[in-house]
Amino acid sequence: MNVMYFAWVRERIGIPQEAVETDAATVSDLVAELVAREDRYAAAFADISALRVALDQELSDFDAPLAGVREVAFFPPMTGG
Amino acid sequence: MAVRVQEGAFDAGAELNGFVQGRTDVGAVVSFTGIVRDTAGNLLEMQIEHYPGMTQSAIEKIVQEAQHRWDLSDALVIHRYGALKPGAPIMMVATAAAHRAAAFEAADFLMDYLKSRAPFWKKEVTGAGADWVAAKEADENALNRW
């Protein structure tokens, strides 16, 4: 699946998006896999209560299943308007 | 309904004048324009990042929700991204209805939801460095009004 990062999440991880091969069942499982990879992921996901997630461009939550999902995006709370 | 996500500037006055031109069923138009504010007097620019694959559809869903809740004749949302200078327009919302209550309330609703549910992130660049604007709890709580 394609995993995207925005705002300070993107800056901490250092890339805007990447292809990730995973069998993670839920968003939280995917986060745990990423955090285990490298410190920069651990830094970005240190406090997931400060993050939001979208699955295939729809806001979702960290308990959501990933079956069939093609695009996951992580970002801080939005500051539009 | 019109939703435009763009990098370039827009003319809020011209947009408003054209919004319901020629219609005779509209009795009230309400508009809001958001402008880059230099609070501390040292802002060089406001950088606005967005999620291109999601932004347009997320805003359209918010406008559809407003149309569902209020009897609107029309609605317009323009939101910019990119590097914006102090004093530049960031976004505008306009609502049209037969009566003013629906137009006022729908515009207020749209602003609350655009602030916290449209995928934009603001970064302030000043002479002292650059910082992401933190979301305010009050903005999130404002959604509970609706």
Backbone φ/ψ region at A10: left (φ over 0), alpha (ψ -120 to 50), beta: alpha
Share of chain A above pLDDT 70, in %: 100
Residue with tokens 């209550």: B101
The predicted structure's pLDDT at residue A15 = 98
Do the chains contact at A57 and B53, CB–CB below 8 Å?
yes
How far apart, in Å, do the first and last CA atoms of chain B sit?
Answer: 21
B48: closest CA among B108, B109, B111, B125? B125
Looking at this predicted complex, what is its ipTM? 0.95
Domains and CATH numbers, chain A: 2-75 (3.10.20.30)
**Nearest chain B Cα distance for residue A33, angstroms:** 24
Are B54 and A54 a contacting pair at CB < 8 A? yes
**Alpha helix (H) ranges present in chain B?**
12-19, 52-69, 100-117, 137-142
**Average pLDDT, integer, range B6-22:** 96
The confidence score (pLDDT) of residue B40 equals: 85
For each of the domains in chain B, give its residue range(s) and CATH number, in order of start. 2-145 (3.90.1170.40)
What is the distance between the alpha carbons of residues B109 and B119, in angstroms, rounded to a whole number?
Answer: 17
